[in-house]
Chains A and B, each alone.
Chain A
């Protein structure tokens, strides 16, 4: 039985915070602005899409503090136990001098109305600490989750490129004080479970989580809060009791198994990127187009699967690759094909007290062709109108021996194109086969029209993606690509 404490503890800028009276729905942004009167972080959307509230949250990982940019509007204070929260107010020097990031922004005319600016500064700050001399693409990626309506971004990008001429991360207070900060965080994360009023539960370990959730199957599990955050800010739902799991290192493991890669459920998109793209280079484009940097830092692979959304971007490629899902209830574990997890809209194969513990992605066999496509109105930081993944195996004669096609955004769940697959199998991999199969998408999918795309466009694009996939496999179609210097 683990010990229990009744306080959420973290460091805010240079102050140690202890909270014993806290609601599970309290967001970091509201707490900063209303309780602490720190009003440099702004509310632009309260749904994690505009980045005006961006702060850095530092957490201990492999004995180092890793600072992630996050959107404070949908991050719950209850999830901050054992972290270091850095807000815009912390950047200026004690003498009032602007930080290198701030000075670069001022000198390059990077602000006009200024409302989004603190968020941009924080995103650039996070980037500069890990990449002091970023190229254009790195800057754009770091700013995917920040909206500016005035500048057209050009001066902000120029500022981003120039920061290193104003200072180096080694001169930054966060660097200088990292040992002391680490010691403080280590002292906070003392192996005890946190419980506040039966509404906030921060389990001590993965096993502790399994036990707590089995005992409280009605609790809401919150990892990155990129979905649950909106239940609160947009729909004003009460979510307690909540079990926060984003801090559990065991759930952030990535394991390289023989012939497969296993992601534990709490691995964020950002954390998954390096290994994922090493094993599945075709996934890089998709991965970098999922949400913005802050959301990729918060959102987890497990969450994207567990919530059962028909427009999640990870299920289509994972299903096409034949992923297996690991579910756990208490000490009981079971394993299913990922595609079987999605039963119907809003309904998944998950029992009370059971949670997604991990997903295993088999490596692509040599010779297999694979591609995934995300189609959205805006190229980056947008929810998919549709997302399709294709994988074929060809035999020596060039005949399709195996095929898996899965789409999101085309049905009430992520779903395979069974009829199309059947029409491809056993056929030579050529344009005639593909043309014949394209027409069959209408049998597999009856998509809806909504604000993201019409049913007609969805169906036509799904068909065309098969053609695109075929042409790419024979080297006859280039991908649209943003070419930056």
Chain B
């Protein structure tokens, strides 16, 4: 063994390391499922979709489909050996192929299997389907009017004396806000490729955030056990929640065909079909009744959160739950009652999307803050501050969990200063007074977001770390990479633990064969959970190696310690690679499975009480806009953000999440409009009609900073905080800034009450309404 001193290996944790796949992304050599060279004989599947929003299927004539060029066969519900269902809520309400009835325009009816994708796609359009139309509802209001049929159990959160609070409040505001949904618009659409194996085995390459659930679904539809199904995912071309459950159906269809014909089968819908047939962010209508006083302090809140769930439960239960969990945003409600209504509608079943209902809950909170501000003639920021949770008192959430890590006061105060909010607001008021056509607005809004899956059992993770005898490390965990940088963060954790360079750690594709029973990479939890699990695996191996090093040097374990690059004892330094080789020869196990379960959390849905969140992440944004009061067009001119990620594992990745999350949230709230026609068909289903932000929509001044002083009070991985979802909600500041600009046309005396997305049309119509009302 060498006796030299430990070499210096730069610690990788808390440093802005680049995304591990960056060089491959830019070269076009990062492999997505559609880029894999298909095995010989690969078949292609394509879905045929319903063209009615609600109807009985009278008959389907497959003759022209089956005789079309290249067609191998048609896959229908009758071809499913197991269960015709991929419901992630296990309510058995989501068939792969509709049987008897269709519940939305775009529901899969059957799949065509052909030699090429083009042949399958063309043939899928040839079936003659006869329908008997049924009445349908597509909007929240229609669903409420039609009897409020729910797809899953609603939730109620209640604390304090709501009726008394409302009755006693000096002032009262009742209103509602309509909040539009959002398509994920991941650039890589849904895709799966299934390779049949011997016996019952099947391997599926799936673009999914939730490999273990895809495994379950494939097993369920094939009627086989989980151990026969392996799901692999190296990377997704974007997920955002859209591949938490929505990949299930595609993987199941590919696997069904692969086993039926014993050939590999790939399925990839085109963009229109993807946007038509897969779920989106839930639209909400929130009806509220809020009592407050002359200082703007809220006394009581009573609100109902109606959500367009679509035709099945999917994740609408947990999504609407999370909306209620964020009905408070960062605000203390002395008395509160909030109720959810996950409504059945004849639209695609809505699903997870970054924020998972939280954004809609928080947007409603900001809406009544705004109502109060305009009613009192105050800056909405003053009302926000007046209602922030206290740090030790006035800090109980509607679900009875105390807020124990509140830093919103400091975050907002620092941003108010760094963005020069007050002076700019004054300047804008002055500008508006002298500008009859163009008007400006500015708003500063807070974010407080609860971290943990509210399904408590999801808060667990596994990892598998191998050290090979040359000292190279092979890292697997249950998390998936969709661009968010999870893989590099966990690799940083492991490299840091062993004191080796990142090049020593090979990041492996996620597979159910390595780490079983994983949770979805969702709820911002990826690095919290998998980072800890990988650290646990590393710890086990390190303990064994330390023991071995001590034995080699003939010292006690307490006299040996891990340093950068290896183990140091009084007798000298053993570099990591040498230690690994020596350990192998001495029959020391160099592999370990790590595990983590989030502590502290519990939740009782029946009583609406518990401690569902391990901690909260905070942030704030100040946005400035200009609108044209003749056309409703607008520009977002400047955005300043201060965001809390605890002690950042990787500041570059985290800044990327914040910038990207903000812009995605801004798209949701401004130009991304889902529009159904009177026949019940979604007509905004491709980038030509559905408008996500462009490079030129980013604010020309875009100052994004981390709250570098922040550290997680809880012992999370590296004391970091989750970053995936919370920044999306910073974009609420854009809505509020647009509101101020609109309010200027009536001298800020009337709350604009804009629904979202705030398209140019909504801005113009808002201006018109306020001008009308101001004239009386």
- Residue in contact with B22 in the complex, picked from A105, A148, A157, A461, CB distance below 8 Å: A105
B272 to chain A: closest residue by CB:
A234
Does the CB pair B688–A47 fall under 8 Å?
yes
Interface residue? A195 (CB, 8 A): no
Residue-wise interface mask of B (40-61) relative to A, using a CB-CB cutoff of 8 A (1 in contact, 0 not): 0000000000000000000000
Bound form: Cα–Cα A155–B702 in Å = 11
- Residue in contact with A147 in the complex, picked from B24, B29, B687, B698, CB distance below 8 Å: B687
Contact (A92, B694) CB under 8 Å given A46-B270, A112-B484, A480-B633: no
Interface residue? A192 (CB, 8 A): no
Query: Which residues of chain B come closer than 8 Å to A228, judged between CB atoms?
Result: none
Query: Which residues of chain A come closer than 8 Å to B185, judged between CB atoms?
Result: 147, 149
Does the CB pair A468–B437 fall under 8 Å?
yes
- Segment of A170-178, A340-348, A449-457 in the binding face: A449-457
Query: Which residues of chain A come closer than 8 Å to B688, judged between CB atoms?
Result: 45, 47, 49, 383
Q: Mark A residues whose CB is within 8 Å of B.
A: 30, 33, 37, 39-47, 49-50, 52, 87-89, 91-92, 98, 101-103, 105-107, 109-118, 121, 136, 139-141, 143-144, 146-157, 233-234, 236, 373, 375-383, 385, 450-454, 456-457, 460-461, 464-465, 467-468, 471, 476-478, 480-485
Does the CB pair A98–B27 fall under 8 Å?
yes
Bound form: Cα–Cα A115–B661 in Å = 17
Interface residue? B765 (CB, 8 A): yes
B238 to chain A: closest residue by CB:
A113
Does the CB pair B633–A375 fall under 8 Å?
yes
Bound form: Cα–Cα A238–B484 in Å = 41
Bound form: Cα–Cα A155–B695 in Å = 10
- Residue in contact with A115 in the complex, picked from B238, B632, B759, CB distance below 8 Å: B238
Bound form: Cα–Cα A377–B673 in Å = 9
Query: Which residues of chain A come closer than 8 Å to B160, judged between CB atoms?
Result: none
Does the CB pair B23–A106 fall under 8 Å?
yes
The 8 closest A-B pairs by CB, nearest first: A40-B28, A113-B483, A115-B237, A114-B25, A152-B663, A112-B483, A49-B687, A88-B28
A472 to chain B: closest residue by CB:
B437
Query: Which residues of chain B come closer than 8 Å to A379, judged between CB atoms?
Result: 633, 635, 694, 696-697
Please give the distance in Å from A22's CB to the nearest CB on chain B: 15
Does the CB pair A45–B686 fall under 8 Å?
yes
Does the CB pair A484–B635 fall under 8 Å?
no
Please give the distance in Å from B314's CB to the nearest CB on chain A: 21
- Residue in contact with B687 in the complex, picked from A45, A106, A461, CB distance below 8 Å: A45
Query: B24, B32, B687, B704: which has the most chain A beta carbons within 10 Å?
Result: B687
Does the CB pair B700–A485 fall under 8 Å?
yes
Interface residues of B in 118-135 (CB under 8 A from A): 118, 121-122, 125
Query: Which residues of chain B come closer than 8 Å to A143, judged between CB atoms?
Result: 694-696
Does the CB pair A150–B633 fall under 8 Å?
no
Contact (A112, B702) CB under 8 Å given A146-B695, A378-B694, A450-B683: no
Does the CB pair A91–B630 fall under 8 Å?
no
- Known pairs A111-B22, A150-B238 / 7 extra A-B pairs, C-beta < 8 Å: A45-B688, A98-B23, A116-B237, A118-B25, A121-B26, A380-B696, A477-B630
The total number of A-B Cβ pairs within 8 Å is 277
- Segment of B101-109, B407-415, B652-660 in the binding face: B652-660
Interface residue? B458 (CB, 8 A): no
Bound form: Cα–Cα A236–B271 in Å = 14
Bound form: Cα–Cα A465–B437 in Å = 12
Does the CB pair A147–B694 fall under 8 Å?
yes
Q: List 16 A-B contacts (CB under 8 A).
A: A39-B31, A44-B187, A109-B653, A114-B19, A116-B237, A118-B27, A147-B687, A151-B659, A236-B122, A381-B694, A457-B632, A457-B764, A464-B631, A465-B631, A468-B628, A480-B626
Bound form: Cα–Cα A105–B29 in Å = 15
Interface range for B: 35 or more
Query: Which residues of chain B come closer than 8 Å to A46, judged between CB atoms?
Result: 270-271
Does the CB pair A464–B630 fall under 8 Å?
yes
Does the CB pair A481–B635 fall under 8 Å?
yes
Query: Which residues of chain A come closer than 8 Å to B19, judged between CB atoms?
Result: 109, 111-112, 114
Interface residues of B in 630-671 (CB under 8 A from A): 630-635, 637, 652-653, 655-656, 659-664, 671
Does the CB pair A42–B237 fall under 8 Å?
yes
Bound form: Cα–Cα A85–B90 in Å = 50
Interface residue? B438 (CB, 8 A): yes
A230 to chain B: closest residue by CB:
B688
- Residue in contact with B673 in the complex, picked from A92, A156, A451, CB distance below 8 Å: A451
Query: Which residues of chain A come closer than 8 Å to B697, judged between CB atoms?
Result: 153, 378-380
Query: Which residues of chain A come closer than 8 Å to B759, judged between CB atoms?
Result: 377
Does the CB pair A111–B26 fall under 8 Å?
yes
Does the CB pair A44–B188 fall under 8 Å?
yes
Does the CB pair A460–B438 fall under 8 Å?
no
Bound form: Cα–Cα A484–B701 in Å = 8
Query: Which residues of chain A come closer than 8 Å to B237, judged between CB atoms?
Result: 42, 113-116
Does the CB pair B698–A153 fall under 8 Å?
yes
A157 to chain B: closest residue by CB:
B695
Interface residue? B240 (CB, 8 A): yes
A124 to chain B: closest residue by CB:
B26
Please give the distance in Å from A154's CB to the nearest CB on chain B: 5
Interface residue? B606 (CB, 8 A): no
Please give the distance in Å from A159's CB to the nearest CB on chain B: 9
Interface residue? B386 (CB, 8 A): no
Bound form: Cα–Cα A209–B571 in Å = 87
Does the CB pair A236–B125 fall under 8 Å?
yes
Does the CB pair A451–B26 fall under 8 Å?
no
Please give the distance in Å from A459's CB to the nearest CB on chain B: 11
Bound form: Cα–Cα A139–B237 in Å = 23
Please give the distance in Å from A392's CB to the nearest CB on chain B: 18
- Residue in contact with B696 in the complex, picked from A87, A480, A482, CB distance below 8 Å: A482
Bound form: Cα–Cα A451–B21 in Å = 38
Does the CB pair B34–A43 fall under 8 Å?
yes
- Residue in contact with A377 in the complex, picked from B436, B663, B691, CB distance below 8 Å: B691
Bound form: Cα–Cα A452–B691 in Å = 10
Interface residues of B in 718-761 (CB under 8 A from A): 759-761
Interface residues of B in 184-201 (CB under 8 A from A): 184-189
Does the CB pair A149–B631 fall under 8 Å?
no
Bound form: Cα–Cα A465–B764 in Å = 12
Query: Which residues of chain B come closer than 8 Å to A92, judged between CB atoms?
Result: 27
Query: Which residues of chain B come closer than 8 Å to A115, judged between CB atoms?
Result: 32, 186-188, 237-238, 483
Please give the distance in Å from B105's CB to the nearest CB on chain A: 14
Query: Which residues of chain B come closer than 8 Å to A452, judged between CB atoms?
Result: 689
- Residue in contact with A152 in the complex, picked from B18, B631, B659, B765, CB distance below 8 Å: B659
Query: Which residues of chain A come closer than 8 Å to B695, judged between CB atoms?
Result: 139-140, 143-144, 146, 148, 153, 156-157
Interface residue? B403 (CB, 8 A): no
A39 to chain B: closest residue by CB:
B35
Contact (A41, B22) CB under 8 Å given A46-B271, A147-B692, A461-B631: no
Does the CB pair A480–B628 fall under 8 Å?
yes
Interface residue? B603 (CB, 8 A): no
Bound form: Cα–Cα A471–B437 in Å = 10
Does the CB pair A91–B27 fall under 8 Å?
yes
Query: Which residues of chain B come closer than 8 Å to A45, judged between CB atoms?
Result: 271, 686-688
Bound form: Cα–Cα A451–B757 in Å = 13
Please give the distance in Å from B46's CB to the nearest CB on chain A: 11
Bound form: Cα–Cα A156–B694 in Å = 12
Please give the distance in Å from B758's CB to the nearest CB on chain A: 11
